[in-house]
């Protein structure tokens, strides 16, 4: 976890913020599933100002269509999410997503239009509403500030680790919180978010600023992650604000807005890193830091190109310092810079090593390079020496297990 000054990392995930509870139960949505939670709920005692971003894929899951409709007034009070089935490309998908919202609303005694819905799993298979219908009342009764972990488990598919985080900080002498949970392991090449991510806060803030902060921080975090180059049909990122911290409402981009935005960055950046670290079959987190770029756009494009390269990812799986693949990935990035100025360093907890200077290879120890690249967190440091802008992107190595997991995904 990357630490931030003036922000204390606390337990609770989406339940750390005042007013929020969560839970997760076993509904048996996927055939043969009798041990893993697969139905989650997040609820707030107050109607929340809510902002959201969804997939840019032309094929969109039914839950996205329904959630967009329910969010037209900018408010929500609960989220219902299932794993095991994406409810995408189904003739009755919207009907099922709406029923999930109705059932949740009845169980919580709220308006169905204040319920958002998410689904993740296999695409193109019909989702049976019966187990969901049976378990939603039980799920609603299980909601607690202590059950964030159950909700995280319930939204996971091929994830190997739970992704939850929260921070505490002060605004106007009030204790405030931002917390989040997410899932995502494969089909990750977000153009807006990740597979599924839910963020909560008790900060009182104008809805327009809530959405502005979400878009900006997403641009710097989830949008800079790639596992396999595929953009999901169900990518959903939701940010809900209860306002129960009782700080003076943030209505302009002042110091308090900056503090809130940084808290949101602390949560989303760490969740984004964990998404990359937990890529299907991955053994290494890869962080590419590009400096000296002529523009922010160029820096972002260069960093994302490197961590998206299958050849770079495969080389790092083998701890092979094949720096030529890094330059190749930089060369086809949608960015203008002088390749003859570029230097590349490889780094980890075992040290740092320059492998390329002024666009050409230099002598280095292959043994030292292999030792550096053998760690489970590796950095690729690229200096374009062509400006003052920088960017960070996150990815993972490409392993035999990635192919195995996806070859057997439906079975």
Would you kindly state where each structural domain of the chain is located, as residue ranges? 8-277, 285-407
What's the pLDDT at 403?
76
Q: Just list the catalytic residues.
A: 194
What's the pLDDT at 230?
57
What's the pLDDT at 411?
58
The stretches in the chain having pLDDT less than 70 are: 185-194, 227-231, 409-411
Q: How far apart are CA 69 and CA 133, in angstroms?
A: 22
| Topology agreement, domain 8-277 and domain 285-407 | no
Residue 255's H or E segment, with its range, is helix 255-277
Q: Model's pTM, two decimal places?
A: 0.90
Q: Which fold has domain 285-407?
A: Ubiquitin-like (UB roll) (3.10.20)
What's the pLDDT at 400?
83
Contact 200, 46 (CB under 8 A): no
Contact 81, 117 (CB under 8 A): yes
What's the pLDDT at 407?
77
What's the pLDDT at 227?
64
> Phi and psi for 80 in degrees, rounded to 5?
-115, 130
* Beta-strand runs (E) in 59-186: 75-85, 115-122, 163-171, 174-183
Contact 239, 51 (CB under 8 A): yes
Find all residues with CB under 8 Å of 196, minimum gap 6, and list them: 81, 118, 120, 155, 182, 183, 184, 234, 235, 236
CATH architecture of 8-277: 4-Layer Sandwich (3.60)
């Amino acid at each position: 976890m990357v630490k931030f000054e003036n922000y204390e990392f606390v337990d609770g995930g989406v339940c750390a913020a005042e007013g929020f509870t969560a839970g997760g139960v076993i509904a048996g949505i996927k055939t043969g599933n009798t041990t893993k939670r697969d139905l989650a709920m997040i609820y707030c005692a107050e109607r929340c100002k809510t902002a959201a971003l969804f997939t840019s894929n032309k094929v969109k899951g039914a839950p996205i269509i329904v959630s967009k409709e329910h969010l037209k007034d900018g408010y929500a009070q609960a989220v219902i999410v299932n794993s095991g089935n994406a409810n995408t490309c189904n003739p009755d998908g919207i009907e099922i997503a709406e029923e999930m919202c109705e059932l949740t609303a009845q169980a919580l005694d709220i308006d169905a239009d204040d319920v958002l819905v998410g689904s993740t799993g296999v695409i193109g298979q019909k989702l049976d509403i019966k187990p969901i219908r049976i378990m939603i009342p039980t799920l609603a009764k299980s909601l607690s500030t202590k059950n964030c972990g159950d909700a995280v488990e319930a939204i996971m598919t091929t994830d190997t680790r739970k992704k939850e985080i929260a921070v505490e900080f002060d605004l106007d002498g009030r204790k405030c919180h931002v917390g989040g949970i997410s899932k995502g392991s494969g089909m990750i090449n977000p153009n807006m978010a990740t597979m599924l991510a839910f963020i909560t806060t008790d900060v009182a803030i104008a809805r327009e600023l809530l959405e502005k902060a979400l878009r900006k921080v997403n641009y710097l975090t989830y949008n800079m992650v790639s596992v396999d180059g595929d953009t999901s049909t169900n990518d959903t990122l939701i940010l809900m604000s209860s306002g129960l911290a009782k700080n003076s409402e943030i209505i302009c981009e002042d110091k308090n807005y900056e503090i809130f935005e940084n808290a949101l960055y602390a949560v989303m950046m760490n969740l984004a890193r964990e998404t990359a670290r937990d890529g299907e079959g991955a053994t290494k987190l890869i962080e590419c830091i590009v400096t000296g770029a002529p523009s922010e756009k160029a820096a972002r494009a260069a960093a994302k190109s490197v961590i998206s390269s299958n050849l770079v990812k495969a080389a790092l799986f083998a701890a092979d310092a094949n720096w030529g693949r890094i330059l190749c990935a930089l060369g086809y990035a949608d960015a203008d810079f002088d390749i003859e100025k570029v230097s590349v360093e490889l780094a980890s907890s075992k040290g740092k090593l320059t492998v390329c200077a002024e666009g050409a290879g230099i002598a280095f120890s292959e043994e030292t390079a292999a030792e550096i690249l053998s760690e489970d967190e590796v950095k690729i440091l690229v200096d374009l020496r062509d400006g003052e802008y920088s960017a960070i992107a996150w990815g993972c190595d490409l392993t035999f297990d990635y192919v195995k997991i996806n070859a057997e995904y439906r079975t």
